[in-house]
Amino acid sequence: MFKEKTVEMEEVAARHERIARSFVEARRSASGFDAYPGEAPGSLEEAYVVQDRAIALHGEPVGGWKLGRINAPFDSRFGANRLAGPIFTSSIVDAEHGSVAAMPVIEEGFAAVEAEFLLRLGSSPDPDKHEWTMEEARSLVDSVAIGIEIASSPLTSINELGPAVTASDFGNNHGLLVGPEFEGWRSLDLDAVPVKLLINGAEVGSATTATMLDGPWGAVRFLAELAAARGVGLSKGQWISTGAVTGVHRVAVGDAVEAWFGSERLECRIVAATPAVADHVQGPRS
């Protein structure tokens, strides 16, 4: 029985390895595919196992975390109303005043943009603390900026296959454009700030963070608790992309994107990702 259990665990680990490697290699080659590369994870716990392996294979520092909402009925099925994914340091772009940043997507895969408030960790959360109040979560943050998250995956159907699939591929993140600090954030109610997103000059969505569960501060609390449960350390200086305010909006290469947060504006243009110089991922093949 013990031997059978060991063999089963090894087979599961090998399956997770193959899935993680498929995603990482496709991202490195900037190529896409239509079907999930193996048996899709049946739970968020399994999805995060795949994600952790993919982070290790990717081999780059994590400069932040994206949060995405899990809508009904998946929230009840998976026992969570948000999911998280890593944002690698190399994909974080600081917006320069007066310029329009070029943000890459996987042209053969899925590509979308999201207007989001970005909250920066001013201190590292206690990894042994598993429950946080909203005020405790707020005390972790030392800056709030406006931003645009680039959601892109090699898997063309990623947003149609449920949150576990999304979580398994870095939460569908491919980059983050960090705009200027949002003036007065310490005293303002972020839920009262109107946010809108335009693509090629046409407005595609408008809303406020009041529609986003318990808002940006709740996203920080969720991430701190999730990280403790997963045994993942959060670090000072990491950005938290707190969730799409106006929704997830599909884009194509060449599109011009414009996000407004009150009177503050942030712009980017969508370009095609190019293959990485290295054509391999970290670690031995199984």
Handedness of CA 231, 232, 233, 234 (dihedral sign): negative
Q: What integer is the mean pLDDT of 168-190?
A: 97
Q: pLDDT band at 99, cuts 50/70/90?
A: confident
Q: What integer is the mean pLDDT of 75-91?
A: 97
Question: According to the model, what pLDDT value does residue 281 have?
Answer: 47
Check if the beta carbon of residue 177 is closer than 8 Å to that of residue 266: yes
Question: According to the model, what pLDDT value does residue 282 have?
Answer: 47
Q: pLDDT band at 51, cuts 50/70/90?
A: very high
Q: Can you tell me the distance from the alpha carbon of 201 to that of 52, in angstroms, rounded to the nearest whole number?
A: 38
Residue 190 pLDDT > 90: yes
Query: Between 277 and 80, whose confidence is greater?
Result: 80
pTM of the predicted structure, to 2 decimals: 0.93
Question: According to the model, what pLDDT value does residue 10 have?
Answer: 83
